[in-house]
Amino acid sequence: MTDPKTLTPLDLDTPDKTFLDANELVINMGPQHPATHGVLRVILRLDGEKVLGLECVIGYLHRGVEKIAENRTYTMFNPYVDRMDYVAAVSNGLGYCEAVEKLLSVEAPPRAQYIRVILTELNRIASHQLWLGTHALDIGAITPLFYTFRDREEILKIFEKYCGARLTTHAFRIGGLQYEAYEGFEQDVKNFVSFVKPKIDEYEELLTTNRIWLERTRGVGVISGKDCIALGVTGPVLRASGVKWDVRKALPYANYGNFDFEIPTGQNGDTYDRYLVRMVEMRQSLRIIEQAVAGIPEGPIMAKVPKVMKPPVGEVYHSIEAPKGELGYFIVSDGSTQPYRVRVRPPSFVNLQALDLMCRGQLVADVIAVIGTLDIVLGEVDR
């Protein structure tokens, strides 16, 4: 395994020589490319079809979220975080709300915590479903995409019934929730759990033992646990490399300490293991949802928070386990109504850094598979 520190940046500016002289070819993939999941641009240096190295060019979707935060109040900034990782908007909101709550030294009431957990875990499933569909599509299997989107629809329906939005939900408020769970919310969630369990089996039936799927994913984009830690890679990618670490277990937040679930890990750190880890994670999320729905307490849903929020001077770093990895918020307060500085630690951005290491020596087709398996959302990479 290559030591990530010894990777030197590529000289991509010199004009490529002809094939017969050097066998090298610089190819530009993206920003408009069907398999880069948005506006990621990857410059590949190839030897035939073998990747010698690559460089990511990002920032096409940069909207200056951190700058915006400094010019909005704490409450006003809340909807903006949904626009970062837009396929897991609920997780973003949870992280932000909890970070500000920590700054304010308040805690959301238990009922709110439970509903938050249910929605966040539903969102994790939705995010993984979207990942599975697009990842399989990248590798050439077109059918799983439609299956996963069909089932993700049910989650989005629950979101829509709960807060009126499907994608950028703005579901949580600082201090708890604005909306009480609607009539039949628990039943809907229970129905969903029993609905989606056989569906996950269905995805696995299509892919897990499929010969071509195995050949395309086994031993592809291998990254060791050590490299993962050095590169700051978190989430399912880290776990697939054999490091049993999950923010939900390591530094529990939002009531996760009360639930019984397991952290799946892989051994080889290849694309197939990452696939398996995410599949198990979906099932574990269902387990958490089942427990949460069964134990959902009565009570208030909003803690006592001042209308005009002026957190005391200080700074706080709070992170949660988003579907992609560790999503952290570092917030500095100067005692005014607006945050002095909000730093988002985006899992996609940091994970994307591993692409170069994971792709060296692989083939062009594997680059696609590895981009897919990293599960990046460009909205979060570029912010």
Answer for which of 82, 138, 273, 375 binds other proteins (CB under 8 A) is: 138
Answer for which of 295, 299, 314, 361 binds other proteins (CB under 8 A) is: 314
Comparison of 188 and 227: residue with beta carbon closer to other proteins? 227
* DSSP bridge pairs for 80: none
* CA pair distance 168, 132, nearest whole angstrom: 20
C-alpha distances out from residue 38 to 41, 175, 201, Å: 9, 34, 29
* CA pair distance 74, 263, nearest whole angstrom: 33
Comparison of 141 and 165: residue with beta carbon closer to other proteins? 141
Provide CB contacts within 8 A for 371, sequence distance 6+.
35, 36, 37, 40, 42, 138, 355
Under the criterion CB under 8 A, does residue 317 sit at the interface with other proteins?
Answer: yes
Residues 270-309 that bind other proteins (CB under 8 A): none
Comparing CA positions, the residue from 83, 74, 72, 37 lying closest to residue 56 is: 37
Q: Is-contact 134 34, C-beta < 8 A?
A: no
Under the criterion CB under 8 A, does residue 340 sit at the interface with other proteins?
Answer: yes
Question: Tokens 């300490």 sit at which residue?
Answer: 257
The stretch among 107-115, 116-124, 302-310, 311-319 that binds other proteins (CB under 8 A) is: 311-319
Residues 87-126 that bind other proteins (CB under 8 A): 102-103, 105
Residues 146-175 that bind other proteins (CB under 8 A): 146-147, 150
Site string for other proteins, 318-337 (x = CB under 8 A): -x------x-x-x-x-----
* CA pair distance 228, 326, nearest whole angstrom: 13
Q: Identify the helix (H) or strand (E) that includes residue 28.
A: strand 24-29
Answer for which of 22, 47, 59, 76 binds other proteins (CB under 8 A) is: 59
Site string for other proteins, 208-247 (x = CB under 8 A): --x-xx-xx----------x-xxxxx---------x-x--
Comparing CA positions, the residue from 171, 180, 163 lying closest to residue 301 is: 180
CB of 377 to other proteins, least distance (A): 15
Amino acid at 261: F
CB of 149 to other proteins, least distance (A): 9
Residues 345-364 that bind other proteins (CB under 8 A): 345, 349-350, 353, 363-364
The stretch among 65-73, 81-89, 170-178, 266-274 that binds other proteins (CB under 8 A) is: 65-73
Q: Name the DSSP letter for residue 60.
A: T
Three-class DSSP category at 229: helix
Size of the site for other proteins (CB under 8 A): 79
Under the criterion CB under 8 A, does residue 248 sit at the interface with other proteins?
Answer: no
Comparison of 142 and 308: residue with beta carbon closer to other proteins? 142
Amino acid at 255: N
